[in-house]
Protein backbone atom coordinates (compact mmCIF):
# COMPACT_ATOMS: atom_id res chain seq x y z
CA UNK A 1 0.00 0.00 0.00
CA UNK A 2 1.27 3.46 -0.84
CA UNK A 3 2.06 5.69 2.10
CA UNK A 4 -0.04 8.51 0.67
CA UNK A 5 -3.08 6.26 0.87
CA UNK A 6 -2.35 5.35 4.46
CA UNK A 7 -1.98 8.99 5.45
CA UNK A 8 -5.50 9.64 4.25
CA UNK A 9 -6.70 7.24 6.94
CA UNK A 10 -5.08 9.21 9.72
CA UNK A 11 -6.97 12.17 11.13
CA UNK A 12 -4.51 15.03 10.76
CA UNK A 13 -5.24 16.40 14.20
CA UNK A 14 -3.68 13.32 15.76
CA UNK A 15 -0.32 14.15 14.24
CA UNK A 16 1.82 16.06 16.70
CA UNK A 17 3.87 18.93 15.33
CA UNK A 18 7.53 17.93 15.37
CA UNK A 19 10.80 19.48 14.36
CA UNK A 20 13.36 17.53 12.39
CA UNK A 21 15.13 16.10 15.40
CA UNK A 22 18.84 15.32 15.43
CA UNK A 23 20.58 12.06 16.44
CA UNK A 24 18.34 9.23 17.51
CA UNK A 25 20.02 8.13 20.74
CA UNK A 26 21.80 5.14 19.21
CA UNK A 27 24.80 3.72 21.02
CA UNK A 28 27.49 1.71 19.24
CA UNK A 29 28.61 -1.31 21.27
CA UNK A 30 31.53 -3.33 19.80
CA UNK A 31 31.66 -7.08 20.48
CA UNK A 32 34.75 -7.79 18.37
CA UNK A 33 36.63 -5.97 15.61
CA UNK A 34 33.90 -6.99 13.16
CA UNK A 35 30.71 -7.57 15.17
CA UNK A 36 28.78 -4.67 16.65
CA UNK A 37 25.49 -3.87 18.36
CA UNK A 38 23.62 -0.60 17.91
CA UNK A 39 21.60 -0.04 21.05
CA UNK A 40 18.52 2.16 20.83
CA UNK A 41 16.34 3.56 23.57
CA UNK A 42 14.32 1.30 25.89
CA UNK A 43 11.33 3.65 25.84
CA UNK A 44 8.57 3.87 23.26
CA UNK A 45 8.92 5.23 19.71
CA UNK A 46 9.31 9.02 19.70
CA UNK A 47 10.01 11.93 17.33
CA UNK A 48 13.65 11.93 18.50
CA UNK A 49 14.35 8.18 18.18
CA UNK A 50 12.53 7.93 14.81
CA UNK A 51 11.10 4.52 15.72
CA UNK A 52 14.52 3.04 16.56
CA UNK A 53 13.53 2.03 20.12
CA UNK A 54 15.26 -1.35 19.83
CA UNK A 55 18.67 -2.97 19.49
CA UNK A 56 20.19 -3.66 16.07
CA UNK A 57 23.48 -5.25 15.00
CA UNK A 58 25.93 -5.56 12.15
CA UNK A 59 28.84 -7.66 10.97
CA UNK A 60 31.67 -6.30 8.84
CA UNK A 61 32.94 -8.87 6.32
CA UNK A 62 35.29 -8.75 3.35
CA UNK A 63 32.17 -8.89 1.13
CA UNK A 64 30.38 -5.97 2.77
CA UNK A 65 28.25 -5.38 5.84
CA UNK A 66 25.44 -7.61 7.09
CA UNK A 67 22.86 -5.58 9.03
CA UNK A 68 20.49 -7.25 11.46
CA UNK A 69 17.32 -5.13 11.39
CA UNK A 70 17.15 -1.84 9.49
CA UNK A 71 15.30 0.42 11.97
CA UNK A 72 11.75 1.70 12.27
CA UNK A 73 11.57 4.34 9.52
CA UNK A 74 13.44 5.71 6.50
CA UNK A 75 15.10 8.42 8.59
CA UNK A 76 15.75 5.91 11.38
CA UNK A 77 17.56 3.70 8.84
CA UNK A 78 19.68 6.70 7.81
CA UNK A 79 20.69 7.16 11.47
CA UNK A 80 21.67 3.48 11.70
CA UNK A 81 23.76 3.84 8.55
CA UNK A 82 25.57 6.84 10.09
CA UNK A 83 26.55 4.65 13.06
CA UNK A 84 27.82 1.88 10.74
CA UNK A 85 29.89 4.46 8.82
CA UNK A 86 31.71 5.28 12.06
CA UNK A 87 33.48 1.91 11.83
CA UNK A 88 33.57 0.94 8.16
CA UNK A 89 33.43 2.29 4.62
CA UNK A 90 32.05 -1.06 3.40
CA UNK A 91 28.54 -0.90 1.93
CA UNK A 92 25.59 -2.64 3.60
CA UNK A 93 25.01 -5.52 1.22
CA UNK A 94 22.55 -7.60 3.19
CA UNK A 95 19.78 -6.89 5.71
CA UNK A 96 17.98 -9.49 7.80
CA UNK A 97 14.57 -8.63 9.27
CA UNK A 98 14.34 -10.68 12.47
CA UNK A 99 10.59 -10.17 12.78
CA UNK A 100 7.46 -8.30 11.85
CA UNK A 101 7.62 -5.45 14.36
CA UNK A 102 8.05 -2.01 12.74
CA UNK A 103 11.66 -1.48 13.91
CA UNK A 104 12.63 -4.82 12.34
CA UNK A 105 11.67 -3.84 8.80
CA UNK A 106 10.40 -0.33 8.04
CA UNK A 107 13.96 0.82 7.26
CA UNK A 108 14.22 -1.76 4.43
CA UNK A 109 13.57 0.74 1.65
CA UNK A 110 16.51 2.94 2.68
CA UNK A 111 18.98 0.04 2.57
CA UNK A 112 17.51 -1.44 -0.59
CA UNK A 113 18.23 1.91 -2.26
CA UNK A 114 21.85 1.48 -1.10
CA UNK A 115 21.90 -1.85 -2.95
CA UNK A 116 21.27 -4.27 -0.05
CA UNK A 117 19.51 -7.59 -0.42
CA UNK A 118 16.81 -8.20 2.20
CA UNK A 119 16.11 -11.51 3.92
CA UNK A 120 13.30 -12.50 6.32
CA UNK A 121 11.34 -15.56 7.37
CA UNK A 122 8.18 -16.11 5.31
CA UNK A 123 6.17 -15.84 8.55
CA UNK A 124 7.72 -12.42 9.27
CA UNK A 125 6.79 -11.11 5.82
CA UNK A 126 3.20 -12.37 6.22
CA UNK A 127 3.03 -10.58 9.59
CA UNK A 128 4.48 -7.36 8.12
CA UNK A 129 1.86 -7.42 5.38
CA UNK A 130 -0.97 -8.17 7.79
CA UNK A 131 -0.08 -5.39 10.22
CA UNK A 132 1.26 -2.76 7.83
CA UNK A 133 -1.65 -0.36 8.15
CA UNK A 134 -1.87 -0.65 11.96
CA UNK A 135 1.86 -0.15 12.28
CA UNK A 136 1.88 2.98 10.11
CA UNK A 137 -1.00 4.57 11.98
CA UNK A 138 0.52 3.84 15.37
CA UNK A 139 4.05 4.82 14.33
CA UNK A 140 2.91 8.09 12.77
CA UNK A 141 1.13 8.98 15.99
CA UNK A 142 4.32 8.35 17.98
CA UNK A 143 7.14 9.67 15.76
CA UNK A 144 5.13 12.34 13.95
CA UNK A 145 4.72 13.09 10.28
CA UNK A 146 8.29 14.39 9.96
CA UNK A 147 9.66 11.28 11.67
CA UNK A 148 7.97 8.89 9.27
CA UNK A 149 8.68 11.00 6.18
CA UNK A 150 9.95 8.96 3.22
CA UNK A 151 9.14 5.58 4.78
CA UNK A 152 7.88 3.07 2.22
CA UNK A 153 7.06 -0.55 3.07
CA UNK A 154 9.45 -2.87 1.23
CA UNK A 155 9.42 -6.62 1.84
CA UNK A 156 12.26 -9.15 1.76
CA UNK A 157 13.84 -10.20 -1.55
CA UNK A 158 14.35 -13.70 -0.19
CA UNK A 159 12.40 -15.65 2.43
CA UNK A 160 13.00 -18.91 4.27
CA UNK A 161 10.77 -21.16 6.36
CA UNK A 162 12.91 -22.44 9.23
CA UNK A 163 16.58 -22.07 8.43
CA UNK A 164 18.94 -20.28 6.07
CA UNK A 165 22.73 -20.68 6.04
CA UNK A 166 25.14 -18.70 3.94
CA UNK A 167 28.65 -17.27 3.79
CA UNK A 168 29.29 -13.56 3.44
CA UNK A 169 32.98 -13.21 2.64
CA UNK A 170 34.68 -15.42 5.23
CA UNK A 171 31.81 -15.16 7.74
CA UNK A 172 29.33 -17.98 8.23
CA UNK A 173 25.79 -16.83 9.00
CA UNK A 174 22.90 -19.01 10.13
CA UNK A 175 19.34 -17.70 10.46
CA UNK A 176 16.64 -19.67 12.28
CA UNK A 177 12.89 -19.28 12.73
CA UNK A 178 11.71 -21.59 15.53
CA UNK A 179 8.09 -20.46 15.87
CA UNK A 180 6.03 -17.53 17.09
CA UNK A 181 7.52 -15.48 19.94
CA UNK A 182 6.96 -11.72 20.35
CA UNK A 183 5.73 -11.81 16.73
CA UNK A 184 4.78 -14.71 14.42
CA UNK A 185 7.97 -14.60 12.32
CA UNK A 186 10.68 -13.91 14.92
CA UNK A 187 14.10 -15.24 13.90
CA UNK A 188 17.57 -15.30 15.41
CA UNK A 189 20.91 -14.93 13.66
CA UNK A 190 23.87 -17.07 14.74
CA UNK A 191 27.53 -16.42 13.99
CA UNK A 192 29.20 -19.75 14.89
CA UNK A 193 32.76 -18.45 14.40
CA UNK A 194 32.21 -15.59 16.84
CA UNK A 195 29.69 -17.31 19.14
CA UNK A 196 27.43 -14.27 18.81
CA UNK A 197 23.63 -14.53 18.68
CA UNK A 198 21.39 -11.71 17.43
CA UNK A 199 18.11 -12.66 19.08
CA UNK A 200 15.66 -10.13 17.66
CA UNK A 201 12.54 -9.74 19.79
CA UNK A 202 12.96 -13.20 21.35
CA UNK A 203 15.10 -11.54 24.05
CA UNK A 204 14.42 -8.35 26.01
CA UNK A 205 16.74 -7.30 28.83
CA UNK A 206 16.57 -4.27 31.17
CA UNK A 207 13.02 -3.49 30.04
CA UNK A 208 9.80 -5.47 30.36
CA UNK A 209 8.89 -7.45 27.25
CA UNK A 210 5.48 -6.98 25.67
CA UNK A 211 3.05 -9.83 25.09
CA UNK A 212 0.66 -8.54 22.44
CA UNK A 213 -2.08 -9.99 20.28
CA UNK A 214 0.64 -10.81 17.72
CA UNK A 215 2.60 -12.80 20.35
CA UNK A 216 2.35 -16.30 21.78
CA UNK A 217 3.83 -16.68 25.26
CA UNK A 218 3.91 -20.48 25.10
CA UNK A 219 5.82 -20.83 21.84
CA UNK A 220 7.93 -17.78 22.81
CA UNK A 221 9.37 -19.93 25.63
CA UNK A 222 10.07 -22.73 23.12
CA UNK A 223 11.74 -20.32 20.68
CA UNK A 224 13.86 -18.95 23.53
CA UNK A 225 14.98 -22.49 24.46
CA UNK A 226 15.82 -23.32 20.82
CA UNK A 227 17.95 -20.16 20.62
CA UNK A 228 19.57 -20.79 24.02
CA UNK A 229 20.58 -24.33 22.97
CA UNK A 230 23.40 -22.74 20.94
CA UNK A 231 24.87 -21.47 24.23
CA UNK A 232 26.01 -18.18 22.69
CA UNK A 233 28.85 -16.34 24.40
CA UNK A 234 27.40 -12.92 23.50
CA UNK A 235 23.76 -12.05 22.93
CA UNK A 236 22.64 -8.99 21.01
CA UNK A 237 19.09 -8.78 22.37
CA UNK A 238 16.11 -7.25 20.61
CA UNK A 239 15.95 -4.64 23.35
CA UNK A 240 18.74 -3.69 25.75
CA UNK A 241 22.53 -3.77 25.72
CA UNK A 242 24.72 -6.70 24.66
CA UNK A 243 24.23 -9.35 27.29
CA UNK A 244 24.71 -12.92 28.51
CA UNK A 245 22.46 -15.94 28.30
CA UNK A 246 22.05 -15.87 32.10
CA UNK A 247 20.75 -12.30 32.00
CA UNK A 248 18.43 -13.12 29.08
CA UNK A 249 17.09 -16.11 31.01
CA UNK A 250 16.33 -13.87 33.97
CA UNK A 251 14.66 -10.93 32.20
CA UNK A 252 12.90 -12.76 29.36
CA UNK A 253 12.51 -16.50 29.98
CA UNK A 254 12.07 -16.05 33.74
CA UNK A 255 9.43 -13.38 33.29
CA UNK A 256 7.49 -15.40 30.67
CA UNK A 257 7.52 -18.49 32.91
CA UNK A 258 6.52 -16.45 35.96
CA UNK A 259 3.69 -14.74 34.08
CA UNK A 260 2.27 -17.99 32.71
CA UNK A 261 2.32 -19.75 36.07
CA UNK A 262 0.89 -16.71 37.89
CA UNK A 263 -1.96 -16.44 35.34
CA UNK A 264 -2.57 -20.22 35.52
CA UNK A 265 -2.85 -20.03 39.34
CA UNK A 266 -5.17 -17.00 39.01
CA UNK A 267 -7.41 -18.97 36.60
CA UNK A 268 -7.37 -22.05 38.85
CA UNK A 269 -8.66 -19.83 41.66
CA UNK A 270 -11.57 -18.84 39.42
CA UNK A 271 -10.14 -15.33 38.85
CA UNK A 272 -11.98 -13.10 36.41
CA UNK A 273 -10.19 -11.13 33.66
CA UNK A 274 -11.50 -7.85 35.15
CA UNK A 275 -9.47 -8.57 38.29
CA UNK A 276 -6.24 -9.52 36.46
CA UNK A 277 -4.45 -6.47 37.90
CA UNK A 278 -4.41 -8.22 41.29
CA UNK A 279 -1.61 -10.53 40.07
CA UNK A 280 1.53 -9.45 41.92
CA UNK A 281 4.30 -8.72 39.40
CA UNK A 282 6.44 -6.69 41.80
CA UNK A 283 9.43 -9.04 41.47
CA UNK A 284 9.76 -7.71 37.90
CA UNK A 285 9.31 -4.04 38.72
CA UNK A 286 13.04 -3.54 38.20
CA UNK A 287 12.36 -3.79 34.45
CA UNK A 288 11.75 -0.49 32.67
CA UNK A 289 8.21 0.11 31.30
CA UNK A 290 6.69 -2.35 33.80
CA UNK A 291 3.91 0.03 34.84
CA UNK A 292 2.58 0.37 31.30
CA UNK A 293 3.07 -3.28 30.30
CA UNK A 294 2.60 -5.59 33.31
CA UNK A 295 -1.21 -5.49 33.39
CA UNK A 296 -1.56 -5.72 29.62
CA UNK A 297 0.80 -8.70 29.51
CA UNK A 298 -1.22 -10.58 32.14
CA UNK A 299 -4.43 -9.84 30.25
CA UNK A 300 -2.98 -11.13 26.99
CA UNK A 301 -1.63 -14.32 28.59
CA UNK A 302 -5.05 -14.85 30.23
CA UNK A 303 -6.80 -14.73 26.84
CA UNK A 304 -4.18 -17.05 25.35
CA UNK A 305 -4.49 -19.60 28.14
CA UNK A 306 -8.28 -19.69 27.93
CA UNK A 307 -7.75 -21.44 24.57
CA UNK A 308 -4.87 -23.74 25.45
ZN1 LIG B 1 10.84 -4.96 19.43
Please give the distance, rounded to the nearest whole angstrom, from the Cα atom of residue 100 to the centre of ligand 1: 9
Residues near ion ligand 1 (Cβ under 5 Å): 54, 101, 201, 238
Distance of CA 217 to the CA centre of its chain: 16
Per-residue pLDDT of the chain (308 residues; tens, 9 = 90+): 455 555 444 444 444 433 333 356 899 999 999 999 999 999 999 999 999 999 999 999 999 999 999 999 999 999 999 999 999 999 999 999 999 999 999 999 999 999 999 999 999 999 999 999 999 999 999 999 999 999 999 999 999 999 999 999 999 999 999 999 999 999 999 999 999 999 999 999 999 999 999 999 999 999 999 999 999 999 999 999 999 999 999 999 999 999 999 999 999 999 998 999 999 999 999 999 999 999 999 999 999 999 88
Please give the distance, rounded to the nearest whole angstrom, from the Cα atom of residue 122 to the centre of ligand 1: 18
Please give the distance, rounded to the nearest whole angstrom, from the Cα atom of residue 131 to the centre of ligand 1: 14
Please give the distance, rounded to the nearest whole angstrom, from the Cα atom of residue 282 to the centre of ligand 1: 23
Instruction: Provide the edge-to-edge strand list for the sheet that holds 64-68.
Output: 27-30, 35-39, 55-61, 64-68, 92-97, 117-121, 158-160
User: Is the model's pTM score more than 0.75?
Assistant: yes
Please give the distance, rounded to the nearest whole angstrom, from the Cα atom of residue 200 to the centre of ligand 1: 7
Amino acid sequence: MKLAKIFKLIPLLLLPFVHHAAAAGLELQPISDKVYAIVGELSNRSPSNLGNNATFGFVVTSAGVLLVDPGGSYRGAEEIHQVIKQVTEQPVVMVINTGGQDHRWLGNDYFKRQGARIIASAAAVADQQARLQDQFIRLTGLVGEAGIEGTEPIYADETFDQRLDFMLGETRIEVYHSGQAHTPGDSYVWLPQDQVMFTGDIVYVERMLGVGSQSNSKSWIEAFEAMAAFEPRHLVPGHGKVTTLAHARKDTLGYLQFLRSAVAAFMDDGGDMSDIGSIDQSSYHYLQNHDTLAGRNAQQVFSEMEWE
